[in-house]
Structure 1
Amino acid sequence: MSSLAPQRREPGELFGPRFTLFADMLAVGLAAAVASLPLITAPTAFAAACAVLRRSIREDRPVSMGEYVGEFRAHGPRRVLLAGVTVFAAVTLVVLDLVLAGAGLPGARPMSWALTAVAVVGLVVALRAAGDPEVARGWRPALSRAATRSVTDPVGCALIATAVALCVAFVWMLPLLALLLPGPLTFAITAVELRVELAYDDGDDGDDVAVGSGG
């Protein structure tokens, strides 16, 4: 009879026994895609997916759809609507500015490039905020912390921007992948944020050792 005890992932094993983490990533991504269908719920849907994947990786256990629903509901209707409205207002503003910049006005090309750069930076910061473990308590402080991490960790920003670019390319080549790509994208965001946390924890341990040895 097979053991009912959960199998732990070995160090260096990317997906774990029987591809558990890979399956969890796809399942959570599909849940996020479905939760994003009203569009205004998309920011919260991604934040909930990142939180669930984070706990799955840190606690080395499979995820459940009930956990995802609970995480989504933890944001509350007011925060869900506020985050969605803010994101779509920002997207609308950027699109309108790009349309005006491309209307043949003087300096339109440099303005278009500048607006595109601002949009990319804003998207990366917003995605890093979605990966913040405390985002359910408020998007504003999460955005502030994400902006700080973006300044101190430009490599992480480049990794997230690359993940977004790859997702866009995949959807352009095969639109049917749109329902599956939220999983890899949230996994990339979570991996970048955990990478920063682990580096910070290692630095703190080193400081503690140094202080202890000095005493």
Structure 2
Amino acid sequence: MTHAPTASTRDRREPGEVFGPSFSLFADVLLVGLLTTGACLPVVTAPAAFAAASAALRQSADHGLPVRAGTYVGHLRAHLTARVLAVGCVPPLLALILLIDAALLRSPLPGAAVVSPVLALLTLGAMVVGLRATALEAPYRLSGREGFLRSVADPRGALLLAGAVLLSAVLAWSIPLLTPLLPGPLAFAATVVELRSPAG
């Protein structure tokens, strides 16, 4: 008589591996990417959407079970508070800074060559801190201050997240069809950095 596979038999992890088998992980990240993109459409829900993605991936890592849409929606509802929606105004401001930065690159204004890279680096840093903040667990959940402190305390993790953001930007620019899937790898990167951080 054969028994249905349990989480322990399905979850065959290599030493040091945080998540389960690679194909299952690939499917989870794709699903999380699509769900996060849909949840980000109102714009102000973006922080809650990424926090829900990280929470769903963290739960998958803890229990060795695949991510399900219902699980993601449950985490999203838990994160949709007035404070988080207010924080959701930050992504549009970052987009505005990037537009100003792009305009500076094309302008002959004095100092544009210096201001433009500084704005780009500040925006990248803000995105790294924001991703780190969305991957935090309670009681620090979605704390920009704690995200900043952990990014400073873990420069290697911050560099890895910065690389993930830059790679996502390049993929979105070169292959626009991949854009709806990119929040998944970004949330995955933030979750792994947080799980493996010495500050975690």
TM range (shorter): 0.7 to 0.9
TM-score, normalization by structure 1: 0.80
C-alpha distance in structure 2 between counterparts of 1:47 and 1:73, whole Å: 11
C-alpha distance in structure 1 between counterparts of 2:23 and 2:84, whole Å: 32
| 1:200 CA displacement | 5.0
Deviations 1:82-128 (A, max 9, x none): 12113323432453366357542221211111111111111111111
Structure 2 counterpart of 1:72 = 76
| Residue identity matched to 1:181 | L
TM-score, normalization by structure 2: 0.85
Equivalent residues of 2:53, 2:72 under 8 A apart: yes
Structure 2 counterpart of 1:108 = 112
C-alpha distance in structure 1 between counterparts of 2:50 and 2:98, whole Å: 21
Question: Does residue 129 in structure 1 map to residue 130 in structure 2?
Answer: no
Structure 2 counterpart of 1:30 = 34
Q: Equivalences for 1:1-215 in 2 at 5 Å?
A: 1-6=2-7, 7-12=10-15, 16-17=20-21, 19-93=23-97, 95-96=99-100, 99=103, 103-134=107-138, 139=142, 142-196=143-197, 199-200=198-199
Q: Percent of pairs identical after alignment?
A: 42
Residues 18 and 51 of structure 1: is their aligned pair in 2 closer, same or farther, counting only changes over 3 Å? closer
| Residue identity matched to 1:46 | F
Uncovered stretches (5+) of structure 1, i.e. residues with no partner: 202-215
* Structure number, greater radius of gyration: 1
Equivalent residues of 1:48, 1:72 under 8 A apart: yes
Uncovered stretches (5+) of structure 2, i.e. residues with no partner: none
Count of residue correspondences: 196
Equivalent residues of 1:44, 1:80 under 8 A apart: yes
C-alpha distance in structure 2 between counterparts of 1:11 and 1:50, whole Å: 22
| Residue identity matched to 2:191 | T
Deviations 1:193-214 (A, max 9, x none): 1110xx457xxxxxxxxxxxxx
| Residue identity matched to 1:24 | D
Equivalent residues of 2:19, 2:61 under 8 A apart: no
Equivalent residues of 2:19, 2:25 under 8 A apart: yes
Report the 3-state secondary structure (helix = DSSP H, G, I; strand = E; otherwise coil) of the residue aligned with 2:89: helix
Q: CA-atom RMSD, angstroms? A: 2.4
Moved more, 100-109 or 122-131: 100-109
Structure number with the higher helix fraction is: 1
Residues 116 and 18 of structure 1: is their aligned pair in 2 closer, same or farther, counting only changes over 3 Å? closer
